[in-house]
Every structure is written in structure tokens, then in C-alpha cells.
Structure 1
């Protein structure tokens, strides 16, 4: 069979004869579909406090939020205790049984430093009506905040919503099943509260459904981003009771392979089925002082409450938790689609087979050449990766245009939407130029070439990550149907009215891709905008001939205009960047004391210093690693600081060393903080391979689970808010070597005697958001060596 070139090129047929009316109609309809998808995340109107008692009211929930989110209430602070007591009182007001679970907990698998704390979970229970045997539902939110922000959105809004849901449940129809209300402690310290509940609370042994609500930002609609294994039936209930809530098995598949976790993680691992919710927009405020009550919208409160109330009432009526079912599910505009996950691979193989059939039939009819299809696929991908490379350059370019962005602890702007739009325009511009250069390629070769990467990805994802398969399967299926239809025509040019069929074939892509892109662009740091940009360029590849037809000969001009507009948006961001009281710059400063040498220094993890930090660090600070701060990757700015006063002593350490089995040694450390407001105490053991096992907060952990890839970090423990009586750490050590133990005590305040004469923090700056740099305040460290020759050391404070 000869492989002669097809005669039906896009410019010579459809593009040259397509009417502007048809193009405009296609463009408007496509844009309308995209807007319909994006509008699917709109928030409901808030219900006033005058509404009937069985309804959820955002206005009533806001009254709780005004108290909870008024100021920071981090673990162990007086304000934290006030919020705890408030929750108990409000639960009693609605007739709930109330308990406070106080427990020490050590969770070495959940973070570095290996965390421990004494937690206080607030637990309530609403009993079902007499004789009712429905399913137990547990509503969960953490009530602690970070020390750097009031936590009105993370997670005060969810706590307030659950309190209002509890009231509405009591005033509505009698409950068919018990409802647990769990307000966890120390979520910000690696989920210690939920870990303690799952491990030791008797109610955790029951079976039921957990609905957890958290927050990644302070704006946007609710997203159901994780479902427990076997929770397909819960997806169905969500679609029935809260169809306006965004959801997708893609998000679950991706999230469960990330390092992130919420309280839902500990409860899911404890055997509960459930759904995990969060709002993910407004990330600029995350863990900062901008997480205020006023920044939380009534619409978000209403959506949280309506969703939890409807699901609780519905699920509690289930006679038992149904058998496990795995679903693929997604939002397609106003539609909620779900089907068994076991269908993923067969569907991918089916559509892949139809694609191969369409290719070979088109070759038989001399509509395309196989080698040319592969050529077009490679060319499209090369152009696409060039386009997504521009997304990788956008954040470095913005920092070059405005050095102020180099000072930020994370890649955020004051208007992330403008940055994202600039990236999208650049990707579209680069793809447009590349497609225009291929305008003479035969229609079928270009269309089939754009489908090749989708076919490969679709089959691979359906096997490896089936929850994410829908995003690739159905857009690919739409184009395969189009290729099958076009293959019936032979080599004659396409009539004008046939070309808009690309718009119809693109419908699955237009229904699925915009919502996914919007979520990924929002959730991921701006410096990682290339990840969703790769999806965008793959979408353009899939629609290559239709894209060319839609823009026609004006595509180069449209691409150039898009590129200039994108650059203009970045320039406007650079020019408009200002640090002020409304948009403060994150800055951090630590007073680091060596109690053994009685010396101190100022340390900052800021990428770039400002006038305030330079007033402390001086004109010539060093930038180097600081061994006493192993929990955050350096280097750090540091300079000598005034020597500490006698009141800065650091933790007291009592040691006992005794012989163990097989030549090993056992060391008991009792560590007592010197201050009642100590935020945490760190214990670092070097070298880490000297630790055979450790026991902390009543839990034993083997040494191989405690060590990290960073040998210089050794084994690092952190006990959050230890009691005034201190805590015990037992180490089992190898027979050889002389491990060094460094103990550090951290408080969030700096002695007034040290800062006398130095400027206070200006209004245009704020502490670095929690977890993104060094914790501010005072860190006092001391070091001791456990000698190999000593068999027993008398207890006493270490000098």
C-alpha cells in the first residue's frame, strides 16, 4: 500500500472556507461551557439567624467564629484553654455528652522532628432517639491554631460550623444514629490530637463515618478531596445531598500520594470510613495573621454547614455501613458522574483499541500516514514542553522584575489570579505559534498526532492511578469518536459545517479540564505552575486542528497579543507589589542562646533581610549553617547578640545510664523546661545510628524509624508544650560510641532586656507563617555527652 500524502490540509479546506459566524458561535459556546464549569464552585447565600431552628445559619455560626478566631490560640497557650472551655460549654448547651480526652502521645511516623505532646481533645456525643440503630457519624475539626495567626479559617470556621450543625441536629428531626463531635487538639503539630483519639479513646473503637473539615486558605468553595477506601457509597450520598460541592477521584488519587495529611488521615488509618473536605483558595493568608474572622465569608460557612447537616442526617439513617465500593467520580459542569473503578482499565483499552482502528482505517483510505502521525505527535509535544517551560520561568522572571518577591517565604503574590492568567496566556501563545507552523499538515495527521500522547497517558494512568483516569479517558474518547466519523469521508475536503464538530468532540475536555486546572493552579505554589500547565498544553494538543480552525490566519496575532498581555500582567504584579499593613512581608528573627557557653546570637531564615532584621543582625551578618537548628534547612543569617541574663537558663536534664542486653546501654533522660510558657523542647541525638530504640510519652519506637536521610540531623525529637514537671525520654544505645545529646527549649517571646533599644516589628511585616521558616522567639540549647565508659550517672542537672 502506498504512503502518499493526504490532500486535505486544514488551510486548503476548512479554515479557508469556514465562516466567521460559525467560528464565533463555536468560541462563545466553548467559553460558556468553561464558565459553567468554573461557576460550579459558587457559594450559597447565607441563612440569617432568624431561620427555623432545624436549619443551619451562617449568621449563628459566625457568633462562634468571632470568639474562636479572635486571636491566635496555639497549643498550650492561655487562649487555647479558653477556646477549649468554650467548646465544652457550647456542646453542653445543645445537650451533648462532653468529655475532654487528656493524653500524652508520640507519633514518630508523622513528622520531623519526631513529635510528642500532651493533648486535650474535646469530644461530644448526641444520642439517637430511643431504639434507633442507625450509623454513627463523627464530625471532626481541629480547634488549635498556629502561633502566627488567629486561625479563623484554619480551622475556626469548621469548628464554628460544627457547633451550629450540632444545634440544628438537636432541634430537627430525631436522630437515627449517634453523632460524635470531635474537636481535635495539636493538629498543627503533626495530627497529634487525632492520633491520640484513634489510639486510645473508647469511642474510636466504634464503626461509623467521619466527616472531616479543614482549610488550606481563607476563601473559596468547599472541595471534597479525599474519600476513604471503600467509600464509594459516600460519594453517592454526597452527590445526592450536596451536589454543589466539588469532588473528584483524581484529587483523592493525587492527595494520598503526597506528603500532606489532615486529621482524617489518622482516623482513616484507624478504620473509619469517611469524607475529607477543605476550602483551598486564599492561600496567601494561610498560617498568617491575615486569617481573620472578617476574611471568612458567610457563603463558606453556609456551604460547610449545609453539607455537614445534610450528610449527617442522611448517613445516620443507614442501618449499617455498606460494603466497600470503589468509584471513579468527577464533576462535569452541573453533572455528577460516577462509575466503578474496575471499569478504568477496560475502558482505556476499549478506547485505545478504537483509536488504533481509526488510525489504520484512515491509513487504508489514504487520509494519513503512520510515520507522519508520529511526527506530528513529537512536534506537538516538543512545542508543548517549550510552552510549559515558560510557566517554569514565570516565577523567576517575576522575582527578577521585583526583588521584593525574593523576600517571601513561599511563592505567593497579592493577586495570584493575575499570575495564573499570565501563565495560561503564555502557554496558549507558545502553543498557538507552534500550531500555526503546522497549519499545512493534513487534518487527520494533526488530529491523530494530538491523540497519541493521550492514548499512552490514558492507558498508563488507568492501570497505575485509576482514580485519575477520567480526566484523560473521556476527552480522548471524544476525539476518537470524531476520528472515526471523519474516517468515513475519504480524502475529500471537509465541508464548512463539519469543522465545528471539533467543538462537540472537545465537550468532555471543556467539562473536565478547567475545574481541575483551577484547583491545581490554586493549591500548588506558583513556582510549580508548570504542573497544571502541562495539562493545559496536552489539552491544546488534543484539539490542535480545531484550535487552528477557530483562530484561522489570525492565530499568530492572537498568540503575540496573548504573550504581551501575559508579560503585562507580570509587570503589573511587579510594579504593584508593596509591603504594607494590609499585605505585610513575612520576616523572622530568633534569639539563639548557648547556655553552656553563655553566648547568644540573632538568627533569621529570611531569604532577604529588611531594615528591621538588619537592625538586629547588623551590617555584615554571616550566612551559614547553624548546627543548633537542625529542624530547618539552612543556611541562616546570623550575628552576635547580647549575652543572656541569669533568668535564661534552658532546660534541666537528669540522666541515668545503665547496662542493657547484648552490651547495649539504656539512658533515661528527664527533661524539665525552665519556663512555664515553653512552646516545645527539642532533643537531638548524634550520631543517629547510635539509637537502637526510643521510648517517649509511653510509646516505644525502633531506631530505624527515627533516623532520617540527613545524617547530620541525627535523631530529633520535639515535645510540644511539656508540663512544668517535664517529661521522660528513654534511649537504648549501641555498645560503642559516645552519643551527644543537644537539648533546646523554645519560647515565642524574647527577653525585654535583650531587645531594649532595638526597633519593634513594623506594621508592614509579620512573623513567617508557621512551618515555613524558623519559629520566632528564644531558643536556649545545652549539650551533654553520654560517655561510653560510664555505666551509671547519678541523677542531677547537667551543668
Structure 2
């Protein structure tokens, strides 16, 4: 096959792989008037507009108005809400914060504008909420329970209804609140529930998740009655709803989500990455108390997070619908299918489509990794014995790949530094245009470098350069970051499949198309999630990782075995 056709086919594979990966991160289209969910969606948006007129931090009169509106909606459904009140002082909040985050070294911190470091710390706490003149704050959690007639076990859905002092909190977190309201409305008075369903609206999340803390402490009896907690949060105002955190031993919980939701977008890589971050949510209090749970949030549009721009006007309507759809489907499913946790083991999972999660137990993922490692070592030893390439070839190829990764990361780091200064972008920014421009530029550079190198090698020589790095990554992930081991195990098995079909021209080309597309598709969400979760400054990390699949695709299509050799021309 000519070099031109090979390059065209390679580009098609890259476009399809990237396109399929990008489809995962598109929120659903909002319903039209003919859709069964349109009435709920319309009412949700009406409620959201009414409850996000102004900021409403804990302890404020504005939050009292939001609470009154929320309670009136619940009463209009013929339901009764329970209000749990708890009082915290500034000292209580300080003690809790130090317990969770550690005590600052106040003695060695200089005063600012004549205010000591410790007093400044206390003032920062006061700014998060409206404490009264005695430095006290009354938090009010709202609980609605739907009783199933033949059981005392069920699930709990949770969102917080307070906001940061500067923001109306349309995404964080009133969107979750109004989505839960519509789930309540749909099942109010449902006589055929198979599970108890609890709806908890917490206060004080922005003051250190204190509302959730008090609820867990005040209701120890619920630990043996609530089988699974769903917490709805937000870290941005657009993009799909991601399930970004799970409790330990999550296999049954993730399978339950798969059964309940038509768009269960998540990845065990995402949940592992989140666990490395210092963030807390209301679910953190429940997980520490021993509950099983799942955490959801939209993560794009972080430039609006906690700011005055977190308004209904800046909220993506598809994102809003994804919240509603998930809340409705979770309650629909729970109303008929109780959650039962039997296989208490961790899982590895990733999205194969917007509607399907690939889920496997940890033990299965270990077996997959072991098979990939054994087959890769067997193939490399066999090829060296047959004289297909030398050990030096493998080392040279691996060194080249690492060099390109480092070079791409450094170059993109320089570009990011320049772009953020010119465009005056902060570190907590999801600027998609900047990210895609940098990513596209570096991908082209990587592709050109891969083509130049691959055309001088045979397929086996080129692929041999990728396997040592993949083996190191598999072993490293099994020890340190098992949740992403699938990426390197499946890529390794795909590389070996193409290599074994090298002598069969048609089989090799078919395998190259399938494997190349799959590898790009698997890598794309990982690169995207790193950027979304860690913001624009971490673009170099995404770029470095993207070098691997682009280089592999170059090897699959541009190595000299795929070209017409001079002797045959």
C-alpha cells in the first residue's frame, strides 16, 4: 500500500478515535416539548431561576428565603419535611477545619495589615457564612423520606442548598437541589416503592460540610438503613455529569449505577485522581462514617465556580438536563430495585460509550495485566531469538518515545505559560479553546516525528520500542495506581495482536485500524479528564500522555512493511 494511502488511513483512525472519545463528554440534548421529561425539565428551570436570584450563604436572610421556597415546593407535593437544626461557633468551625486539614503555623506567619495570622484565619471563616453577633451560626438540614411499605432499607440522595457569599450558586449547588425536587415530585405518593428513598438538602457545605457532619452524627441509626448515598455537586457550569468519586469496595455500587442510569459517565481513573486531591464534599462525611456512596458533578466551566458568574444564564442547558435525568433515573430504579451489596471488592471501570460502563473486578483487572505482561515478554524474547530485532532496538525505541514525551511536555509548558499571560487566564480555568489549540499543535508535531521515525523501521522494530514502557506502566499501576492499569494492559494486547498478524497483509491492516482506533479512544478520555480536573496548567501532562497513542498509530501504518519497497517499485 502506498505511503499516501497509509497516511490517509492513519489520519482517519486518529479522527475516529478522538471523535468517539469526545462524544463521551457531550451532555445530553435538552428535551423538547414532546419529550416525557419536558414538564420536569421546565419546572426545574423555573425553580432554579427563582432560587438563584442572589447569593445565599449559610445564616443569611437570603438562605431563609431559599429554604422557605424549597419547603413550600415539598408541601405542595403533599409531603412533610423534617428540619434538623444545629448551632456552630466560629471556634467550632476552626477546630473542625484544623482536624481535617491540619493546624497552620500561626506563630511563624507574619500579620497582614495589623491583623495576626490566627485572627485572619478566623475572619476567613466568618466570611464564608453569616455568623451572628455572638459568632454563632445555625444550620438547618432538610430531610424528606419516602417510605416503602415492606422494608426499612433504602438509598439517600443529597445536595446542599447554601452558596458561597459571592455567587448565586446556580450550578453549585442549586441545580442539584431542583433536580432532586423533580425526582421527589415524580414519586410523591408512590405506593409501590421497593426501597425507602431519602432526600437530604444540607446547609453549611460551603462552611466545611458541617451540615452533613451534623446529620451523620445526629442519625447514627441510618447507617444500617441507608445502603447507598448519591451526592450531587458541581465544580463547573457545563459539560456532562461525571461520577467522580466512590466509596471503597465499590463493585456493586458501580454496577447499580450502570443499571440505573442511561448516561453513567465515569472512570476509575477519575475517581483515583480525585482521591489524590485535597477536596472534600458532603459525601466525605458519609464515607468516613462507613456509608457506601457515589459522588457526581459537572467539572467543565470551572471559571464560574464559586463566582458571581455562576448564574442560570451561564449554565449549559444540556448539563442541567443531565442532572435531572440522572436524579430521575436513580430514583426510578431504586423505587423498584433495592440496592444489595454482596461482592465487597473494588472495581475498575471506564466508559465505552455515553450509555455504557465497562466494569470489571479488581481481581479480573489483575489477571488482565498479568496476561498482558506475560505475552509481551514472551513475544519480545521470541523476536530477539528469531533475529527480528535486538535488545538495543527496544531500548532505543523506548528512549526515543520518552524523549518525545519530555520534549512535547516542555514545549507545551512554555506555550501554556505564554498563553495564560497573554490571555490573562488564571490557574482555575477550563479554557477549551486554549487547550485544544495547544493539544492540536503538539499532536501534529508528535505525528510528524512519529512518521519520520516509523518509516525507517519494520513494524516489529517499531512496536518493540513501545512494549518496555508499557510493561513498566502496567507494573507501576498495579502497585501505585491500579485504577488506570486497563489503559496499558489493553494497549499492550492490541499491539501484540497487530504484531502477530504482521505476515498477513489484510489481517494486519484490519487489526491496525481496529486496534489503532481503540487505543486512541481509550487514551483520549484520560488526557481530557486530566485537563478538566486539574485545569489548563496541567495541559503538558495531557500532551505527554497523548504522545503514546499517536506514536503507536504512526508505527501501525507508516512502518516500512506497509510501504512499497524500492526493490519492488
User: Same fold by TM-score, threshold 0.5 exceeded?
Assistant: yes
The answer for the alignment partner of 1:24 in structure 2 is 8
Structure 1 residues 546-604: Cα deviation after superposition (integer angstroms, max 9, x where no partner) = 26459x99xxxxxxxxxxxxxxxxxxxxxxxxxxxxxxxxxxxxxxxxxxxxxxxxxxx
Aligned in 2, Cα 1:440/1:29: closer, same or farther, shift over 3 Å?
Answer: closer
Q: TM-score, normalised by structure 1?
A: 0.61
SS at match of 2:205: coil
Aligned to 1:527: 537
Equivalents in 1 of 2:510, 2:406: separation in Å? 27
Q: Which residue of 1 aligns with 2:181?
A: 163
Shift of 1:357: 0.8
Does residue 1:66 correspond to 2:49, yes or no? yes
Cα distance in 1 between the residues matched to 2:489 and 2:47: 45
Counterpart of 2:359?
A: 338
- Determine the C-alpha separation between the residues in 2 that align with 1:433 and 1:31: 16
Indicate the residue corresponding to 2:427 in structure 1.
Answer: 410
Q: Which has the larger radius of gyration?
A: 1
Deviation at 1:523?
2.3
8 Å CA contact retained: 2:530, 2:538: no
Go from structure 1 to structure 2 and tell me whether the alpha carbon gap of 1:213 and 1:455 turns closer, same or farther (over 3 Å shift): same
What is the deviation of 1:277? 0.6
**Structure 1 residues 88, 430: CA separation in 2 closer, same or farther (over 3 Å shift)?**
same
**Cα distance between partner residues in 2 of 1:367 and 1:119:** 74
2:238 to 202, 219, 225: 219
Measured after TM superposition, the shift of residue 177 of structure 1 is: 2.1
For the pair 1:362 / 2:414, whether they are aligned, the reply is: no
The runs of 5 or more residues in structure 1 that have no matched partner are 1-16, 554-799
For 1:650-669, what aligned pairs fall within 5 Å after superposition?
Answer: none
Q: Which has the higher contact order (CA 8 A, sep 6+)?
A: 2
Q: Distance in 2 between matches of 1:80 and 1:316?
A: 31
**Cα distance in 1 for residues equivalent to 2:419 and 2:349:** 37
For residues 545 and 146 of structure 1, the distance between their equivalents in structure 2, rounded to whole angstroms, comes to 51
Query: Structure 1 stretch 149-158 or stretch 107-116: which is displaced more?
Result: 107-116
Shift of 1:268: 1.4
Structure 2 CA distance for partners of 1:134 and 1:176, relative to 1, 3 Å: farther
Closer, same or farther in 2 for the Cα pair 1:18/1:149, shift >3 Å?
same
| Matched residue, 1:246 | 265
* 2-structure distance, mates of 1:56, 1:463: 50
What CA distance in whole angstroms lies between the structure 1 residues aligned with 2:167 and 2:277? 25
Length, aligned pairs only? 522
CA 399–298 in structure 1, closer or farther in 2 if over 3 Å, else same: closer
Aligned to 1:435: 450
Q: Deviations over 1:268-298 (max 9, x none)?
A: 1122212111111112211111111122233
Counterpart-to-counterpart distance in 2, 1:286 and 1:94: 32
Query: Is 1:397 the counterpart of 2:418 in the alignment?
Result: yes
Q: Distance in 1 between matches of 2:541 and 2:522?
A: 16
Q: How far apart are the structure 1 equivalents of 2:316 and 2:191?
A: 28
**Structure 1 residues 391, 125: closer, same or farther in 2, change over 3 A?**
same
Determine if the alignment matches structure 1 residue 481 to structure 2 residue 497. Answer: yes
Alignment match, 1:75: 58
Provide the residue aligned with 2:523 in structure 1.
513
Instruction: Return the alpha-carbon distance in structure 2 between the equivalents of residues 297 and 442 of structure 1.
Output: 49
Of the structure 1 ranges 446-455 and 22-31, higher mean CA displacement relative to structure 2 is found in 22-31
Task: Identify the range of structure 1 (18-27 vs 333-342) with the bigger mean alpha-carbon deviation.
Answer: 18-27
Q: List runs of 5+ in structure 2 lacking aligned partners.
A: 105-120, 127-135, 564-569
Determine helix, strand or coil for the equivalent of 1:195.
helix
Find the aligned partners of 1:522 and 1:547 in 2 and give their Cα distance.
31
Displacement of 1:153: 0.7
Q: 1:47 to 1:444 in 2, by over 3 A?
A: closer
Q: What's 2:482 paired with? A: 466
Question: Is the deviation greater in 174-183 or in 61-70?
Answer: 174-183
| Partner residue of 1:193 out of 206, 211, 227 | 211
422, 433, 437: which one aligns with 1:422: 437
The equivalences for 1:110-189 within 5 A come to 110-111=100-101, 118-130=137-149, 132-133=150-151, 135-170=153-188, 174-189=192-207
Q: 1:168 to 1:21 in 2, by over 3 A?
A: same
Three-state SS of the structure 2 residue aligned to 1:308 is helix
Pairing 1:209–2:228 present = yes
Helix, strand or coil at the partner of 2:492: helix
Q: Distance in 2 between matches of 1:430 and 1:31?
A: 16
Structure 2 partner of 1:572: none
From 248, 253, 258, give the equivalent of 1:234. Answer: 253
Q: Secondary structure at the match of 1:250?
A: helix
> Pick from 381, 405, 409: which aligns with 2:402?
381
Deviation at 1:237, TM superposition (A): 2.2
Q: 2:483 is paired with a residue of what secondary structure?
A: helix
Structure 1 residue 233, shift from structure 2 partner: 1.6
Match of 2:76 in 1: 93
Assess if the C-alpha contact under 8 Å between 1:521 and 1:532 holds in 2.
Answer: yes
Distance 1:172 1:47 in 2: 25
Residue 337 of structure 1 aligns to a residue whose secondary structure is strand
**Residue 173 of structure 1: how far off its partner (Å):** 6.1
Displacement of 1:331: 0.9
User: Are 2:333 and 1:314 equivalent residues in the alignment?
Assistant: yes
